[in-house]
Structures are given as C-alpha cells and as structure tokens.
Structure 1
Amino acid sequence: MRLHRLRAGTGRPLVSVVIPCYNYGHYLPDAVQSVLAQPGVDLEVIVVDDCSTDDSAAVAERLATQHPQVRLIRNPVNKRHIATYNTGLAEVTGDYVVLLSADDQLAPGALGRAAALFGAHPELSLVYGQVLTFAEPPLPEPQRARSWSTWRGPEWVERSCRTTGNLITNPEAIVRREVIERFGGYDPRFPHAADMLLWLQAATVGDVGRVNGTQAYYRDHGANMHSTDYAGVLTDMRERSVLLEHFLGREGAGSTVPGAAEMRAASRRTFAREALRYALNELDAPGPHDAGPHAAGQDDAGPGLVAGLAEFAREQWPAVTGTRLGRAVESRSRAGAPAWHAPASRRLFEARWALRWQRRHRWGT
C-alpha cells in the first residue's frame, strides 16, 4: 500500500449512478438528491424500479421529470436484485460507475474526490472509501478525507482473499465503465456476494485506490437484504468460500494472479479458523449447547450452529481439528468451560472484531 496526498481533480468526468429500487419509494428522493448535489462531475442517474408494489415508480417518474439527469427504467416483472442491477449497468455511458441502493446515500463531494483519484492515477480500475452506518437522519458527521491509498491489483487481491472478507460495503465503490463492460456487471451465480466478486475482478485488470474519508452512508433499518435474504454467519461464510473457490479456480479471473493457489489454501485456513472462533463464542454464550438448533440462534444451513460451524471448518481445512482452536471447540462442546472463562473469552472475541473493524475503517484492508 502507498499513501498519497490529496490532489484536486481536473475536468468534469461523467459519472453514471445506477439506483435499483424495490419498495423503497420513501427513501428514493434522499438517495437521488445525494447524487444530484455532487459537485465537480457531470451526472447520469438511472433508477431501475423492480416492479415495486409501493409508489416507487411514481416517485422515480416525478424525479425524472424534475431533473434531466435522472431517467427511469421499469422492470415489467420482479427480477430480483442481481438482474435489476445489471439492467441499469447495461445502460451506463459514464466514465465511472456507481451502484447506489435506494436506501443509501452518497457523502457530499464523494464523486469528485473519487474522480480526482482516478484522474491522478489512471492505472486504477476501482476506488472506494469509508462508509458510515445510520438508521435515520440526521446523518453522522462525515470524516474529512486526509489522504489517498493505492494498492497494486494483485496486492489488494491477495489481502482480500487471505482475509476472506468483503472489504467494501458497496455504496462507497466506484469503478471504471470498462470493468462493467469486461465482466458483464454482477454475476448472478453468486447473489450473496456478487459485489465482492466484482471488486476482486476489477483488481485483476487494474490497481485499487481508496479515499481515506467518508464516501457514503449505509442505512441499516433491519430490512436490508443482508439481514433477511442472506442472514446467518454460516451462510455468509459458505457463500464467500464458494465465491473465492470460483474466483481463484481455473475458470475465475483470479487464476491469473501470481500465487493464486497459495491464496486459495490460505483462504480455506482463514475460513476454518474463523468458523471455530464463532463456534467458541457460541459455546461461551449462556444456555444449553447441544447438537440441535443453537440457543443463541439458528443458521439456515440445517444443523445447530456450533455443529455446522465445526463441520464447515473441517471441510475447509481438515487439519484444523488438531489446532488449538480445534481442540478447544471439542473440549468446550464436551465439558463446557469454567464460569469465569466464558465472559473473558467472549470479550476477547468482541475485541478481535472491533480491532479488525477499526483497521478496515481506517486503512481499507
């Protein structure tokens, strides 16, 4: 990673912002306004209504009438999210492309900052930044951008694959249009993490940059897709593992990245360790822990969460059973833990994730 001083942008690039919408008509005006208020760039806003049952289409039509930069595409039937994304992406004409959910918002000046970074480093194919979460307005105070970060594409791919996580939430990401044209948008085979795949694919054809400041706002209102259609830690890990197997496999774009085989093995080990850490955290939770649905919540993978996590870990890396984590899960499942141990273990688990979040929020990886 290299750090760079901020530089002012030159010219007025055209940025295409695709806003998929399904029954989010009450949020849509705020999302569109957050785009139209962006200075320093020309704008193309494409709202794709996925056959909403609320007033989303009427709201979008009114916005398109009021603002020449906005146009509406209406799906004749409900196509679900990936097809709706790709419908809008197929229409973009801008130099750079953003996908903004109708319930999220861009931070003031985000597109100009990203365009300036692209302009200063034409080798970049993907730029992202910090994202802040909110439930209802007022929005959190944005963190002022103080620097840029850049990574060589293979370096960013390796970091992403070895940590196995999706480093980008979504609304803060902007890609060159050529990335969309090359890979055809979002891959419908991976509906849970198609955005993660697109970021990885982008990093195989160019470098990656980050604006180290707030670029977008992600609305967490309890009905987000990650909380409904794809809820569950085990489901999430399984879906990401399948995605990385594809990306790093013979047919995936990541197969051309140096060290792809080593990254594949490293990702499996990371998945195995993380699954067992989740299992330990569940075992330390108050209540009974048997092979049935876990007291702390079920995962849609079928068996109890602890048993499912342990099975997933063995699938990813059979040797994990002989590690300290593997032995701890086996011992804890059989005999439990001393009363003093569980709270300390859970605090350690929470501290680990807090530190990881702080690192990603500050540095992007």
Structure 2
Amino acid sequence: MRHTTPNAALAARATPTDPLVSVIISNYNYGAYLGDAIRSVQQQTYRNTEIIVVDDGSTDNSRAVIDCFEEQITVIFNQHRGQCAALNTGLAVSHGAIILFLDADDYLVDNAIERLVAPLVDNPAATKVQGAMIAVDSSGKSLGRKVPGFISPSGDYKKLTLEVGPWTCRHSWTSGIAWQRWFLERVFPLPEGSERRNDADGCLNPVATLFGPIISLDEPVAYYRIHGRNIGPVGEVFTLESLSNRLLRMQHTYDFFLPWARHFGATSATIERWRKWKRSWKSNLTAYVVNLMDSSHPRPSFKEVVFAPLMTGSTSPLKSAGLVAALAVIRISPRKLALVFSRRLLRMPNEPRAGNRDIENH
C-alpha cells in the first residue's frame, strides 16, 4: 500500500538556491515516536520539503500514526527487511536534490534543514553536511550531552582517507546528516543482506570522503532519542554478542568501502595495512577479546594488539606509550585476567546502560 502526494510538482518549483529536500523517515515499530519525527519536518523554517515514510513491516500502532497525516506525506509499506532496504526504497521514490534520512525515533531542530541546505547550495561539490545531535530520553527531555561526542571539522579528507583508511573522519549518525543526491545515486543501493541490513552509516560515511569534501556544523541539528529499546554506538556492553557485532559492523564498512577505495587509487598494500591495524587500538583489542571468548574467531597477533596505538595515528605519543604497556600486559596475561583488564581499558559495562540503541530497529 502506498499513499502519494504531488512531490514531482514540488521538485519542478525548486530553484538552485531553494532545492527540494526529501526527508526519508525509516520506521520499524516506532509508532510511539513517529509522529514527533514527521511533525519536526513539517515545522521546519525551510519549507520546500517532501516527507517520505518507509514503514519496514511494523506490527505496532505505526499505521494508525501514519494515517493521521493522510495526504501530507508519501508512505510506502515494506516487508521487514531492515534499514538499508527502507532507505533504498525511499531514495528511489524521492525527488529532492538533497536527501535527509531521519530515524523514526529521532526528530529535527526547528531550523535544521535550513542550516543543512545552505552549505550544500554554496558548495555543490561537497557530498554531505553533518551536525551533532542532542541526546534526549524517551519523553524528549535533554540528557545534557551531544552525540556523537566529536565530529571531524569541515574539509577534504580524500587523500588522508586513502592513506589511513575508512575511519579517518569522525562522522555524525543518520539523523544528523544531509546528503547530495548526486552522491547517493553513485553509491546506492545499500546492501540488504540479513547481516548487513542496518549498516547505512558505516556504508555511506567513509565513502563520502572519497567523492568530495564534507561540511560540519557547530550546532546540533537533531534530537537523538535514547530509550529502552535501542543499542549500538551509545551503549555497547562487554559480551561476546556485542563485541562481535562491533567487529561485524567494521567488516561491513570494509566490504562497502574497498571497491570505491580501489576505484580512487588505493593499492593492495595500503588496504592490507588498514586491515591489519583497523580503526584504532580498541578495534584490535576487541578482536583479541572476542577470540578469548570464542576461539573460533581469528586471533590478532601480539604485534597487532600491542603496537596498534603507535600505528593507527589516532592517539598522542605519550598516551600511546602507556597503552602499549597496558596492552602488552593484557596480551601475556591469563585469559581471566586479560578479560578483566580489557573490559576496564575499553570502559565497557557488563550490563546494558539505559538507552542502548538497537541496530535491528534503526
């Protein structure tokens, strides 16, 4: 079932300085929050927008919420196939020159689209504009912090990304980013396999740095709702499942990124260096811990674990020296002690914190 609105007419009225912005809201069983997401787009100071809701097979009250907005939005009802499939569907029916993917449990700051659009209009070669988000609880009350805690400043990171790897930049997350349509059309569709269906950020963010500069804003552009049904970047725990998922997401990023890296000139030796040293010392330590928990997983070498702080370039020299010593102790310790020391060094709890984000539910 699909409801349509005259979005093609909106696109026809768009101008280079007033482009149509397509806001694609992916929803799976977030009926409690979906209305806030839709209204946050309708209340924007920037008016030339279309709203596309892709419902990913919800079984809660989402359809009733959607029906309240009737002809104000475009709606597509998918079978449950994950976030990536929802975004693929939404992009295919959208008309905007600028695209914003909004998670249904998040919502926008009132002038977010206006602030996101202006830099892309001024710099059409940029692939995206990003801003941090304000963390709020399930009722929308501020939790007093921004997420993510840091994003890279504006710049052209192509050369550095090809030298260092896909995690050169610190990026915002889905609801805090506006994309140029021309970039998305180059790299879509996103992978929809059962294990990769919710890795949109991991796919898009690193590749974006290869196609053009990125632009970062100083002020938050969205509210990131933290509630009892969600896990991921804000609350991983020290369990085999959680740590394995972290490594799996890294692998998915590699899989999507590598063909484009080769296209832009990355050599086999460079790619092997990325694989060996990964994103940071934390990643190699995570791989070692996963092996300790389940020996069927590959074990990184002593060198890969201990000397990662010196090789990835993401840690200061003084801190690197201390980390090398700590990692050496972990690497030679008995299994039980190694796990205790690793959990403390990774600063991960044994039990979920309130507000973990569920990768199944966007």
Report the alpha carbon displacement of residue 125 of structure 1 after superposing the two structures with TM.
1.2
Which one of 181, 184, 192 corresponds to residue 180 of structure 1?
A: 184
Does the alignment pair 1:333 with 2:334?
A: yes
Which one of 255, 272, 278 corresponds to residue 270 of structure 1?
A: 278
Runs of 5+ unmatched residues, structure 2 = 1-15, 147-151, 308-323, 349-362
What is the CA–CA distance in structure 2 between the aligned matches of 1:84 and 1:241, rounded to whole Å?
21
Which one of 293, 305, 313 corresponds to residue 305 of structure 1?
A: 293
Runs of 5+ unmatched residues, structure 1 = 1-9, 283-300, 352-365
| 3-state SS, counterpart of residue 209 of structure 1 | strand
When residues 312 and 133 of structure 1 are mapped into structure 2, their CA distance, relative to the original with a 3 A threshold, is: farther
When residues 52 and 257 of structure 1 are mapped into structure 2, their CA distance, relative to the original with a 3 A threshold, is: same
Report the alpha carbon displacement of residue 174 of structure 1 after superposing the two structures with TM.
1.0
Report the alpha carbon displacement of residue 26 of structure 1 after superposing the two structures with TM.
1.4
Question: Which deviations, in whole Å up to 9, do the C-alpha atoms of 1:61-82 show, x marking residues without a partner?
Answer: 21134xx3x121122x333332
What is the CA–CA distance in structure 2 between the aligned matches of 1:107 and 1:149, rounded to whole Å?
20
Equivalent residue, structure 2, for 1:289: none
Identity percentage of aligned residues: 24
User: What does 1:349-364 correspond to in 2, within 5 Å?
Assistant: 349-350=346-347
Report the alpha carbon displacement of residue 130 of structure 1 after superposing the two structures with TM.
0.9
Question: Which deviations, in whole Å up to 9, do the C-alpha atoms of 1:93-138 show, x marking residues without a partner?
Answer: 0110011111011122111111111122121011111122222322
Which one of 112, 127, 130 corresponds to residue 128 of structure 1?
A: 130
When residues 349 and 87 of structure 1 are mapped into structure 2, their CA distance, relative to the original with a 3 A threshold, is: closer
Equivalent residue, structure 1, for 2:254: 244
When residues 201 and 319 of structure 1 are mapped into structure 2, their CA distance, relative to the original with a 3 A threshold, is: same
Does the alignment pair 1:113 with 2:101?
A: no
Moved over 6 A (4+): none
Query: What is the TM-score of this pair, normalised by structure 2?
Result: 0.70
Is 1:272–1:312's contact at 8 Å kept on the other side of the alignment?
no
Does the alignment pair 1:257 with 2:245?
A: no
Moved more, 158-167 or 214-223: 158-167
Report the alpha carbon displacement of residue 60 of structure 1 after superposing the two structures with TM.
0.8
Equivalent residue, structure 1, for 2:31: 25
Question: Which deviations, in whole Å up to 9, do the C-alpha atoms of 1:2-25 show, x marking residues without a partner?
Answer: xxxxxxxx9322110111112111
User: What does 1:78-117 correspond to in 2, within 5 Å?
Assistant: 78-117=80-119
Which one of 208, 220, 228 corresponds to residue 222 of structure 1?
A: 228
What is the CA–CA distance in structure 2 between the aligned matches of 1:221 and 1:184, rounded to whole Å?
30
Is 2:166–2:257's contact at 8 Å kept on the other side of the alignment?
no
Is 1:45–1:71's contact at 8 Å kept on the other side of the alignment?
yes
User: What does 1:22-61 correspond to in 2, within 5 Å?
Assistant: 22-61=28-67
When residues 74 and 138 of structure 1 are mapped into structure 2, their CA distance, relative to the original with a 3 A threshold, is: same
What is the CA–CA distance in structure 1 between the aligned matches of 2:136 and 2:163, rounded to whole Å?
28
Figure out how many residues of one structure are paired with residues of the other and give that number. Answer: 302
- Give the RMSD, CA atoms, in angstroms: 3.7
Does the alignment pair 1:73 with 2:76?
A: yes
When residues 115 and 43 of structure 1 are mapped into structure 2, their CA distance, relative to the original with a 3 A threshold, is: same
Is 1:18–1:99's contact at 8 Å kept on the other side of the alignment?
yes
| 3-state SS, counterpart of residue 202 of structure 2 | helix
What is the CA–CA distance in structure 1 between the aligned matches of 2:66 and 2:262, rounded to whole Å?
41
Report the alpha carbon displacement of residue 153 of structure 1 after superposing the two structures with TM.
4.4
Question: Which deviations, in whole Å up to 9, do the C-alpha atoms of 1:220-244 show, x marking residues without a partner?
Answer: 213226379x961232123313432
Report the alpha carbon displacement of residue 258 of structure 1 after superposing the two structures with TM.
4.6
What is the CA–CA distance in structure 1 between the aligned matches of 2:175 and 2:128, rounded to whole Å?
13
Query: What is the TM-score of this pair, normalised by structure 1?
Result: 0.70
Equivalent residue, structure 2, for 1:3: none
